[in-house]
Amino acid sequence: MTERSAHSSSRDANHFVIGPSSLHWEKDCLTIHIKERAVPFGQAVRGTVRIYPERLFNFSTALDDQGHHHWGPLAPRARVDVKLSHPDLHWQGNGYLDSNEGDGPLALDFHEWDWSRTELSGQRTAVIYDVRQKNGNEKLLALVFHPDGQVEPFAAPPRQALPQTAWRIQRQMRNTDQASLKLVKTLEDTPFYARSVLSSELLGEQVTSFHETLNVPRFASPIVQWMLAWRMPRRS
Query: Which residues, 6 or more positions from 153, have their beta carbon under 8 angstroms from its beta carbon?
Result: 142, 143, 144
Quote the percentage of the chain above a pLDDT of 90. Answer: 85
What distance separates the 2 farthest-apart alpha carbons in the chain? 51
Centroid of chain to Cα 66: 22
Q: Is the pLDDT of residue 236 over 60?
A: no
The rounded distance, in Å, linking the Cα atoms of 232 and 121 is: 37
Contact 113, 133 (CB under 8 A): no
What is the pLDDT at residue 1?
A: 55
The rounded distance, in Å, linking the Cα atoms of 115 and 129 is: 5
The rounded distance, in Å, linking the Cα atoms of 199 and 128 is: 15
Per-residue pLDDT tens digits for 113-147: 999 999 999 999 999 999 999 999 999 999 999 99
The rounded distance, in Å, linking the Cα atoms of 70 and 76 is: 16
Per-residue pLDDT tens digits for 9-59: 899 988 999 999 999 998 899 999 999 988 878 899 999 999 999 999 999
What is the pLDDT at residue 41?
A: 84
Q: Is the pLDDT of residue 233 over 80?
A: no
User: pTM higher than 0.85, yes or no?
Assistant: yes
Contact 45, 36 (CB under 8 A): yes
Evaluate the CA torsion angle 76, 81, 84, 87 in order and state its sign. positive
